[in-house]
Structure 1
Amino acid sequence: MKTNKQKIFFAPNVKFLRERRRISQHELAEKLGITRAKLAAIEAGNTKSPQPDDYLNFSAFFAVSIDTLLKIDLSKLGELKMRELEAGNDVYIKGGNLRVLAISVDRDNNEHVEYVPIKAKAGYAAGHADPAYIATLPKYSVPNLSKGDTYRIFPISGDSMLPITDGSDITGKYVSDWTDIKPDTPCVVVLNGEQDVVFKMVTVRADGTLLLRSLNPLYEPYTVEASDVLEIWKFHAYTSRDFPEGQSDMATVLSAIRNLGSKMERSR
């Protein structure tokens, strides 16, 4: 019985990753402790059966799993996917630097909806993947949430997303594949380092960056690298202590601007 032989991409992937890092064959061979001739042979596909140590060394150096090096043509991935891979989001890695979502469950194995208080937001980036840290967050049972999805509640501060006011709580649904996010989607974005947890209109770009835009036009949009993003939670609902007015001053201003723009277009 004839079986389909799976294509192996190890050789072209090694060359692709080396060139992506702008490292010469001599430099990479030196870092890996092999000869330049051996590296050239591997990249050319002339070494039909590389040693297990070779797979391990290349995997460790490029921080990419052996399965990915062998099974996926990395040159065919878009820039966003490559940056995600380089940030540790390798679908074949089990643990390690994989972006793992830590959750907590009740006695019936139903997921809790954790609340991230204002005081905890500063430490959330550091502890977001730590089950022990997540276990310390307040937990709630929220009705009418879709089964199989994970939700979390984040308070927002400031006026950058008016008419959603300062102090409102945003319930977000976890997004595992950022490429599924439609342009200008409201999301809670968790950034690494000291960059904070922000609520913005998010557009994922093909070049591996994310455009973050405020609803309040007084705030300029800005761009962040995909590698700086730890988590994205798509807007599901919000709760506020402020009773909505008929029409806010900001809404009035925005309406006037739109009307003025329409008149200018008609006068051309």
Structure 2
Amino acid sequence: MLYISDNLKYLRNRRNFSQQEAANGLQIPCERYKKYEYGKNTPPAETLLLISRFYHISIDLLLTIDLRKLNVDNLLKLDDNRIVLPITVDADGNNFIEIVPHKARAGYLTGYADPEFIENLQQISLPFLGVGKFRAFPVGGDSMPPHNDLSFVIGKYVDNLGEIKKEKTYILITLSEGITYKRLSSKNAESLTVAPDNIIYNPYEIKLSDILEIWEYVAHIGRDDSKSDLISPDNLSGILSGMQKDIAAINRKIG
């Protein structure tokens, strides 16, 4: 469901604009504007961009979120007000770090712009990280040692592609892969080339059009799995059973 018509009316009323004043601000004919607000037409991409810049609300939120149900003033406005990112804050207005758990990994692609999804994530506070918007993401696989499947990487939101630098690591949210954590090898006007730190995997290219978000790696949260209860009764029984099977297989070959 698209909420653009309801959101246009809501945002206009928040500023106490008439329909004519809103149309003037967007530099479009009033009759065309009315069709958008009444839901008769959906604004094309170039008009959505004008609306986004005029009200300082991301296109994702304009289209997919009912803005009447959230406090727009509590959304994080990034540089030049080009986009609005859903965040959670404490009673003093300090940003929390939301943790995207493994079970919510797949849902992040559809929930990253949804304030309700973000609010339901677990939260931590790490004041030493300084100024910026931070989020923690799960790491999977063996492509980026020493991080493992028990690790989370904390990223700082990047809102300007000019800020990313070669040889730094980034959490990339892409349409094709979802959440991926890689090192930047090179970039051009149309794509990024990224590389895993594990040399058994090859670098590959990601189109900029495929990227939804970029977070610069700043810290990592991990757990030492070497201290897990390896000699619990259940584990010990399994280990001995496996050894007995291996010995029996060797004896059959010898015999």
TM class, shorter-length? 0.5 to 0.7
Q: What's the counterpart of residue 111 of structure 2? A: 127
Taking a change above 3 Å as real, the CA distance of residues 187 and 51 of structure 1, as seen in their structure-2 partners, is closer
Taking a change above 3 Å as real, the CA distance of residues 195 and 54 of structure 1, as seen in their structure-2 partners, is farther
Task: Give the deviation of 1:183 after TM superposition.
Answer: 1.3
State how far apart, in whole Å, the 1-side matches of 2:171 and 2:155 are: 7
Q: What's the counterpart of residue 211 of structure 2? A: 229
SS of 2:205 mapped into structure 1: strand
> 1:178·1:204 contact (CA, 8 Å) conserved in 2?
no
Is 1:182 the equivalent of 2:144?
A: no
Q: Note the alpha carbon deviations across 1:110-169, whole angstroms, 9 max, x for none.
A: 11100000010100010101111100000111130213x011111201110113233211
Give the letter aligned to residue 129 of structure 1: A
Taking a change above 3 Å as real, the CA distance of residues 52 and 236 of structure 1, as seen in their structure-2 partners, is same
> 2:184·2:192 contact (CA, 8 Å) conserved in 1?
yes
Task: Give the deviation of 1:64 after TM superposition.
Answer: 5.1
Task: Give the deviation of 1:101 after TM superposition.
Answer: 1.5
Give the letter aligned to residue 130 of structure 1: D
Give the number of aligned pairs.
171
Q: What's the counterpart of residue 92 of structure 2? A: 108
Q: What's the counterpart of residue 151 of structure 1? A: 134
Give the letter aligned to residue 96 of structure 2: H
Give the letter aligned to residue 127 of structure 1: G
> 1:173·1:234 contact (CA, 8 Å) conserved in 2?
yes
SS of 2:162 mapped into structure 1: helix
Taking a change above 3 Å as real, the CA distance of residues 180 and 52 of structure 1, as seen in their structure-2 partners, is same
Task: Give the deviation of 1:221 after TM superposition.
Answer: 1.2
Give the letter aligned to residue 213 of structure 1: A
Superposition TM-score, scaled by structure 2 size? 0.59
Q: What's the counterpart of residue 170 of structure 1? A: 153
Query: Identity over aligned residues, as a percent?
Result: 33
Task: Give the deviation of 1:242 after TM superposition.
Answer: 3.0
Taking a change above 3 Å as real, the CA distance of residues 110 and 221 of structure 1, as seen in their structure-2 partners, is same
1:212 to 194, 201, 204: 194
Taking a change above 3 Å as real, the CA distance of residues 67 and 125 of structure 1, as seen in their structure-2 partners, is closer
1:52 to 16, 29, 32: 29
Give the letter aligned to residue 166 of structure 1: D
Root-mean-square deviation (CA, aligned residues, Å) is 3.0
Give the letter aligned to residue 52 of structure 1: P
> 1:127·1:133 contact (CA, 8 Å) conserved in 2?
yes
Q: Note the alpha carbon deviations across 1:81-108, whole angstroms, 9 max, x for none.
A: xxxxxxxxx7556325165311011111
> 1:181·1:203 contact (CA, 8 Å) conserved in 2?
no
Is 1:142 the equivalent of 2:126?
A: yes
> 1:208·1:225 contact (CA, 8 Å) conserved in 2?
yes
Give the letter aligned to residue 182 of structure 1: K
Give the letter aligned to residue 234 of structure 1: E
Higher RCO, 1 vs 2 (CA within 8 Å, ≥6 residues apart): 1
State how far apart, in whole Å, the 2-side matches of 1:93 and 1:211 are: 34
1:94 to 56, 66, 69: 56
State how far apart, in whole Å, the 2-side matches of 1:100 and 1:51 are: 23
State how far apart, in whole Å, the 1-side matches of 2:106 and 2:225 are: 29
> 1:152·1:171 contact (CA, 8 Å) conserved in 2?
yes
Task: Give the deviation of 1:65 after TM superposition.
Answer: 5.9
SS of 1:231 mapped into structure 2: strand
Can you give the 5+ residue segments of structure 1 that lack an aligned partner in the other structure?
A: 1-49, 69-89, 245-268
State how far apart, in whole Å, the 2-side matches of 1:102 and 1:95 are: 11
Give the letter aligned to residue 235 of structure 1: Y
Can you give the 5+ residue segments of structure 2 that lack an aligned partner in the other structure?
A: 1-26, 37-42, 61-82, 227-255
State how far apart, in whole Å, the 2-side matches of 1:66 and 1:228 are: 18
